[in-house]
Amino acid sequence: MVSPAIALAFIPFLMTLIIRHRHYFLLFWRAVLLRKVRDYVTGLSREERAFQYVMTHGIPGDPENILSTFDTWCYHSEYLSNVGPEKGKILERLIYEKVPLTLLELGTYCGYSAVRMAQTLPLNARLYTVEMDERNAAVAEKIIRLAGFDEENGECRGVEQIISPSDEVIPHFRERFGVDKFDFVFMDHWKRCYLRDLQLLEDHNLLQEGSVILADNVIFTGAPHFMQYAKSCGKYRWKIHRTHLEYFHYIRDGMAELTYVGLK
């Protein structure tokens, strides 16, 4: 049994640990503990609760307002792993610069990043966004429609949602959707799938010289095997955009920008 003197000696150490890593404790509270409590009390997922807030407070057909309303919820109520405003600006800037016509998003989640991309796309561009979780996909569909991007409003900038595991849909993109190559790929799904899906895109010849792959969360929580491959395989030029975790300015994170150069 631990003596009171030994227990008291650990108090300064524990207090220092909590203070130094308080932002991670806060993230754990908001992303895990608070979520479980509210899931139980409301009977809804946090993604569904977020949609209810956005539907109540957002302006339909105004993408910027929908995004800012989403951000307000995430800053002040519950944490959601959207790309967020800081990284979202990097995503938008790259789309403005590269002017891609065929885009692939892996990890629709709640539709936040799909809306960010859709409002930035050229009028004749097409975004295919893939989500394996049916419940999250249902929220994303409603968010995308609420922002004004759907097949019924005459908008040329199309968003096509695909509910499927990424490794099952990537090999069949060409025959199912008539996509020859992707100009831009945004990865924001399970980090352990980044390398597998990048290699699937290569194996099925869905990348061309100049195709851009933007991968989120390569520092927190990290995708080390993906980054090691990107740096060593000789198929990509790469750089890291150093940012912060979405909605947590004191936790460092980053996005990896890869440009496909093919085999030399």
Residues 136 and 226 in one domain: yes
User: Do 31 and 111 fall into the same domain?
Assistant: no
65 is catalytic: no
Catalytic residue among 188, 197, 253, 257: 188
Q: Could you report the per-residue pLDDT of 112-125, keeping only the tens digit for each?
A: 999 999 999 988 89
- Taking residue 184's Cβ as centre, other Cβ atoms within 10 Å add up to 24
**Helical residues (DSSP H) of the chain, grouped into ranges:** 4-20, 22-28, 34-42, 46-57, 63-76, 84-98, 112-118, 134-147, 166-169, 173-177, 194-203, 224-232
Task: Give the residue from 23, 49, 76 where a domain finishes.
Answer: 76
The verdict on whether 216 is a catalytic residue reads yes
Does the pLDDT at position 154 exceed 50?
A: no
Q: Note the pLDDT of residue 29.
A: 87
For 250, the 3-state DSSP assignment is strand
| 115 shares a domain with 16 | no
Catalytic-residue membership of 183: no
Alpha-carbon distance of 137 to 164, in angstroms, equals 10
Residues 54 and 90 in one domain: no
pLDDT (0 to 100) of residue 152: 54
Task: Show Cβ contacts of residue 252 under 8 Å, excluding neighbours closer than 6 positions.
Answer: 219, 220, 242, 243, 244, 245
Q: Last residue of some domain: 29, 45, 76? A: 76
β strands within 83-235, DSSP E: 102-106, 126-131, 158-163, 182-187, 207-215
* CATH code of residue 244: 3.40.50.150
Three-state DSSP at 206 gives coil
pLDDT recorded at residue 25: 83
Co-location of 10 and 90 in the same domain = no
Q: What is the pLDDT of residues 2-20, one digit of tens each?
A: 566 555 555 665 555 455 6
Q: Is 247 found in the same domain as 152?
A: yes
Instruction: Output the pLDDT for position 158.
Output: 85
Q: What is the mean pLDDT of residues 30-58?
A: 95
Average pLDDT over residues 72-86: 95
Q: Is 82 a catalytic residue?
A: no
Cα(261)–Cα(198) distance, rounded to whole angstroms? 14
- Please, which pLDDT band fits residue 155 given cuts at 50, 70 and 90? very low
Give me the mean pLDDT over the 198-206 stretch.
98
> Same structural domain for residues 119 and 145?
yes
Cβ(71)–Cβ(53) below 8 Å: no
Cβ distance 51 to 143 under 8 Å?
A: yes
pLDDT (0 to 100) of residue 22:
73
Give the model confidence (pLDDT) of 234-264 as tens digits: 999 999 999 999 999 999 999 999 999 987 5
Identify whether 203 is a catalytic site residue.
no
- Residue 108 shares a structural domain with residue 47: no
Q: What is the pLDDT of residues 162-178, one digit of tens each?
A: 999 999 999 999 999 99
- How confident is the model at residue 5, as a pLDDT? 59
Range of the domain at 32: 4-76
Average confidence score pLDDT of the chain: 91
* Residue pair 91/121 in contact by the 8 Å Cβ criterion: no
Same domain? For 64 and 88 the reply is: no
Give the active site residue among 48, 105, 136, 191.
191
Is the four-CA dihedral 180, 171, 164, 27 of positive or negative sign? negative
Task: Assess contact for 153 and 131: CB atoms under 8 A.
Answer: no
Label residue 156 by pLDDT band (50, 70, 90): very low
Q: What is the pTM of this model?
A: 0.92
Which of these is catalytic: 82, 217, 235, 257?
Answer: 217
Q: Among 76, 94, 118, identify where a domain stops.
A: 76
- Cα 222 off chain centre by: 13
Same-domain pairing of 143 and 115: yes
d(Cα 33, Cα 129) in Å, to the nearest integer? 29
Structure tokens belonging to residue 148:
């004004």
| Catalytic choice (48, 131, 183, 216) | 216
| Domain count along the chain | 2
